[in-house]
Amino acid sequence: MASQTAPAAGRMPSDIEIARAARKRPIQEIGAKLGIPAESLLPYGHDKAKVAQDFLATLAERPRGRLVLVTAINPTPAGEGKTTTTVGLGDGLARIGKRAAICIREASLGPNFGMKGGAAGGGLAQIVPMEEMNLHFTGDFHAITAAHNLLAAMIDNHIYWGNALGIDDRRIVWRRVLDMNDRALRDVVVSLGGVANGSPRQTGFDITVASEVMACLCLASDLADLQRRLGAMIVAYRRDRSPVFARDLKADGAMTVLLKDALQPNLVQTLENTPAFVHGGPFANIAHGCNSVTATDTALRLADIVVTEAGFGADLGAEKFFDIKCRKAGLSPDVAVIVATVRALKMNGGVARADLGAENVAAVEAGAANLARHVENVRGFGVPVLVAINHFSGDSAAEIAAVEAAAGAAGAEAFLCRHWAEGSAGIEPLARRVAELADSGAASFAPLYPDGMGLWEKIETIATRIYRAGSVTADRKIRDQLAAWEQAGYGHLPVCMAKTQYSFSTDPSLRGAPEGHEIPVREVRLSAGAGFVVAICGEIMTMPGLPRVPAAETIRLDDAGEVEGLF
């Protein structure tokens, strides 16, 4: 990736070098900035801690602060920097005197060792400890993987010992999970090897972030709510098509025990020592793509203003943030910031990655249709929108002016942001405007569709109003399944669209702002515990594969025993 604006003197250190040089404060000092007593922090070393459940329970009567969502245009290989901007904006708000906090998702090992290489921000806008955050962190994902797979084992064990619940082993819908990209596990056969190992059947693996257990943890308000959600998950069906729930297998109690510590949000800090909650991590292309309700609500009860992010572009992450997370948690966002780069807009305008270094105002103007579409969509939720232009060193003045003009024509102010190279000082103008808008009460938030709308109509509404599709198609069996779920009392649930993140369509190569395309729905899944219906569109996979050259090839320990290649 081309470098962003760097300090004039010398080479800009790498992200990992900057993170290692950070002047971190003891985590108790970071908690004290938000009024968290030291005894309510459960330290994992000196620089990270979980916030104790007992303390969280005391916050319910406190008023919430202001909530800012950071989202982005559709991602490209050129990079957008949504997490970097989220971190920079939080630091910028602290710089102007606000009691600020940041809420982002935890990193999944799958993309870190696949394509992404890290998820803690970049440059001088990072959350630390960066290496731990991008690896095992506090073990939350391992706990989710264990709880999910415990339930899978209990299903097979129940069938082995007589199947008193009458589970139809052809209709087991609970797959296993692993927090790693592994295409070979998408479809597998289990229980081979004879009678002692059970009855062979076809199943498969999803990546841990796609697990309904992850969604339950991220949407739960407390341990009791978590156990209720886990128990309500549908794991299989009987021959009469009646559902079998996790609670029927008596698995919900043990799963909650495994997740007891994982539900407590993780507190860390930025390079500028701004408090940051890093908790939960569903992908927005296959799940709801937001950090946990527990973390966001905790931050809102403790801070004046909270900056959070939603995964991938606004067509996925922001839509699910508004229609699923805000609906479920009773949140009302005050401001939305859409991140864009000149380079990414040039790619949306048809420029090949190898040619991004050359000035091309016409391509920026063409690609800005993608930005304008996202601005229009987000404004449709009744939330004021600002545009953050994440600056790269090769951006020309004319290209930046073209982005500013396009944002203005779409009804959003644009701010050139240099937080990657300058930290909070480089994003202060945007921070001041965000704070002003948040305090103005200008937002009049409303979800895209009402609870009472039919499930198929909700899918069509998202596809036509957000993706600008001309039609939505599905086999009759899919529509019949949705109708059956409505009859069973699930019609009020929101819809979670699983779709490529690279385009408004289901074709990842179709950039810009396409319209009139077809959205094919090839499968629907009921996440009864999480509280939404998943519509899987196009060729999207819930278990990703590694790229031709995975990031894992360059991640290693150097001679000093320190990690290199993780960025």
Q: Tell me which residues are annotated as active site.
A: 82, 84, 105, 116, 284, 312, 392, 420
Q: Phi and psi (nearest 5°) for 539?
A: -105, 20
- Choose among 417, 342, 563: nearest CA to 70: 417
What residues pair up with 536 in beta bridges, in sequence order?
A: 498, 523
**What is the C-alpha separation between 161 and 277, in angstroms, rounded?**
44
- Choose among 289, 282, 292, 280: nearest CA to 313: 289
- Choose among 16, 520, 543, 45: nearest CA to 268: 45
67's tokens: 């909530």
Q: How far, in Å, are 230, 242, 475, 482 from residue 486 at the CA level?
A: 21, 14, 17, 6
- SS3 label, residue 444: coil
Q: How far is CA 40 from the centre of its chain?
A: 27
Who contacts 25 (Cβ-Cβ below 8 Å, separation ≥6)?
Answer: 269, 273
- Choose among 150, 129, 117: nearest CA to 46: 129
**What is the C-alpha separation between 441 and 334, in angstroms, rounded?**
7
197's tokens: 């190992």
Q: Phi and psi (nearest 5°) for 394?
A: -85, 0
**What is the C-alpha separation between 264 and 222, in angstroms, rounded?**
9
For residue 81, count other CB atoms closer than 10 A to its CB: 27
Residue found under tokens 């004290």: 32
The answer to whether the peptide bond before residue 129 is cis (omega within 30 degrees of 0) is: yes
